[in-house]
Amino acid sequence: MSFPRKLILLGATGSIGKSSLRVIRKHPDKLKLIGISAYQKADELASIAREFGVQKVHLYEPPASQPELPSGSKLSTGAHALTELAGWNEADIVLVAVVGAAGLAPTLAALEAGKDVVLANKESLVVAGELVMETARRTGARILPADSEHNAVFQCLQGQPEKALDSLALTASGGPFRDWPIEDLNKATPEQAMRHPNWDMGPKITVDSATMANKGLELIEAKWLFDLPPEKLHVLIHPPSIVHAIVRFSDGCSFAQMSPPCMTFALQNALLFPERLSGVEQGLDLSSAMELSFSPPDLDRYPCLSLARHSLEQGGCAPLVYNAANEMAVDAFLSNRIGFGEISRMIETTLNLFDHRSVYALEDLLALDQEARSLTEHAISQVA
Q: Is the pLDDT of residue 200 over 80?
A: no
Average pLDDT for the chain = 94
Question: Of 2 and 266, which is predicted with more confidence?
Answer: 266
pLDDT tier for residue 356 given thresholds of 50, 70 and 90: confident
pLDDT digits 0-9 by tens, 139-155:
999 999 999 999 999 99
β-strand 254-258 against 243-249: which pairing, if any?
Answer: antiparallel
Write the DSSP string, 47-95. Answer: HHHHHHT-SEEEESSPPSS---PPTT-EEEESHHHHHHHHT-TT-SEEE
pLDDT tier for residue 1 given thresholds of 50, 70 and 90: confident
- Return the DSSP state at 119: E
In contact, 234 and 167? CB cutoff 8 Å:
yes
Q: How many CB atoms lie within 10 A of CB 177?
A: 21
pLDDT tier for residue 123 given thresholds of 50, 70 and 90: confident
Phi then psi for residue 307, to 5 deg, are -65, -35
Lowest mean pLDDT among 253-262, 330-339, 355-364: 355-364
pLDDT at 382: 93
Percent of the chain with pLDDT over 90: 88
- Sequence-distant (6+) residues with CB within 8 A of 355 are none
Q: Is 343 helix (H, G, I), strand (E, B) or coil?
A: helix
* Calpha distance 302→341 (Å, rounded): 10
Segment 340-366 mean pLDDT = 93
pLDDT digits 0-9 by tens, 67-112:
999 999 999 999 999 999 999 999 999 999 998 778 999 999 999 9
Q: Is 320 helix (H, G, I), strand (E, B) or coil?
A: helix
Q: Is the pLDDT of residue 343 over 90?
A: yes
- Sequence-distant (6+) residues with CB within 8 A of 301 are 177, 178, 182, 185
pLDDT at 194: 86
- All domains of the chain, ordered by start, with CATH? 5-145 (3.40.50.720), 147-297 (no CATH), 315-384 (1.10.1740.10)
- Sequence-distant (6+) residues with CB within 8 A of 36 are 8, 9, 10, 12, 45, 48, 49, 52, 54, 56, 57, 58
pLDDT digits 0-9 by tens, 21-31:
999 999 999 99
Segment 300-313 mean pLDDT = 96
